[in-house]
Amino acid sequence: MRLIALLLLCLCATVVWAGQTTPFKLDIGQGGKCVKDPEWMRKNHMQLLKHQRDEAVRKGARDDKVSLKTCVECHASTKDNSVIARDDSFCVACHRYEAVKLDCFECHSGVRKSYWLKRNAK
């Protein structure tokens, strides 16, 4: 009986996750219209980024629509212009919840480019 209850609870959690809401606090930044719908992005954004990185680095085909810089531009927090600065930042919150290590920002900047340029012009 207890097992069935637990199973039901798990199913409920999945349903909530598949919907528009997240089971944790998440700052989506400006948000707006993404290149794909959010549900698809949650599962497959890494494929898109990996494909784009090889095209851009090795062939020089820079598609701004799917570049990491553009992701950051939309999804960096409106408070601190970053996707990684806080526990509820766009990339950090989800990756922490899923326990998946986030390597991108050891090299890439997690800060909105427009903000970075403004700060470094001073």
Partner 1 sequence: MSEVNNQRRAFLKTSLGAAAVAIAPGMLLFDMAHGSTEPVSGKVRWGMLIDTNQCKPGCDECVTACNTENGLSGGKLPTDSQWIRKIEIKDISTGRQSSLPMMCQHCEHPPCVDVCPTAASFKRADGIVLVDKHRCIGCRYCMMACPYKARSFVHEPLHDQNPDVPRGKGTVESCTLCVHRIDEGLQPACATSCPNKAILFGDLNDPNSPIAQKLRTVASTQVRADLKLNTGIRYQGL
Residue 86 touches partner 1, criterion: CB under 8 A: no
Assess contact for 92 and 102: CB atoms under 8 A.
yes
101: which 2 tokens?
């290590």
Residues 8-27 that bind partner 1 (CB under 8 A): none
Mask 49-78, x = binds partner 1 (CB under 8 A)? Answer: ----xxx-xxxxxxxx----x--x------
Of 14, 15, 101, 106, the one binding partner 1 by CB under 8 A: 106
Assess contact for 116 and 109: CB atoms under 8 A.
yes
17: which 2 tokens?
């996750």
What number of chain residues touch partner 1 (CB under 8 A)?
A: 20
Residue 95 touches partner 1, criterion: CB under 8 A: no
With vertex at residue 18, the alpha carbon angle to CA 12 and CA 15, rounded to the nearest 5 degrees, is: 15
* Phi, psi for residue 53 in degrees, rounded to 5: -65, -40
- Contact residues toward partner 1 (CB under 8 A) are 53-55, 57-64, 69, 72, 106-109, 111, 113, 116
